[in-house]
Amino acid sequence: MSIIADLTDSAKQIPGQTAHTVPAIVRPVLTIEHLLEAPLQQLLTEQNAQIVVLDLPIETMFFGQLIRRKDGHVILAMPAGRDSVERDVTIRMLFAEFLGLSSDHFPSSMIATAIKDGEWAL
């Protein structure tokens, strides 16, 4: 299972910070073709994303998590020990689900669950 969390509405604001002090992050429109063909590092840069490796035991049903912070940055939390192909496919699938693109190109055994404001959005 992979999880997508959106913290844009529920993240805490830094004291003294107003909504006007957070710069907008402009991302290019991502097509499924570009998502599948672009080098992973290019996608991470375009989507203002970084990978954080979790030092957790590998669970067969957890492949990773995409978190969009209030400031627009994307964190991809990935369990340690997964091989590079699994990690690559998981990241692309999480982006496809998060951006509302077709998930037909990904293994049917990988299911994304979205959480917004603490609620499961199945």
What does the pLDDT profile of the chain (122 residues) look like in tens digits? 555 555 544 444 444 545 545 455 555 678 999 999 999 999 999 999 999 998 877 666 788 899 988 888 999 999 888 889 999 999 999 999 888 888 888 888 788 887 776 666 65
Looking at the domain assignment, is residue 48 inside a domain? yes
The pLDDT score that the predictor gives to residue 10 is 41
Give the count of domains, the chain: 1
| Distance in angstroms (rounded) separating the CA atoms of residues 68 and 64 | 13
pTM attached to this predicted model: 0.72
Find out whether 79 and 31 touch, Cβ atoms under 8 Å: no
Domain that holds residue 61: 2-9+28-121
Looking at the domain assignment, is residue 21 inside a domain? no
Which residue is associated with the tokens 């910070």? 17
Looking at the domain assignment, is residue 18 inside a domain? no
CATH number at residue 100: 3.30.2010
Looking at the domain assignment, is residue 20 inside a domain? no
| Distance in angstroms (rounded) separating the CA atoms of residues 74 and 68 | 5
Q: Which DSSP letter does residue 38 get?
A: S
Looking at the domain assignment, is residue 39 inside a domain? yes
Looking at the domain assignment, is residue 34 inside a domain? yes
Looking at the domain assignment, is residue 15 inside a domain? no
Contacts of 84 (CB under 8 A, 6+ apart): none
Within 13 Å, how many C-alpha atoms sit on residue 13's CB side? 9
Looking at the domain assignment, is residue 42 inside a domain? yes
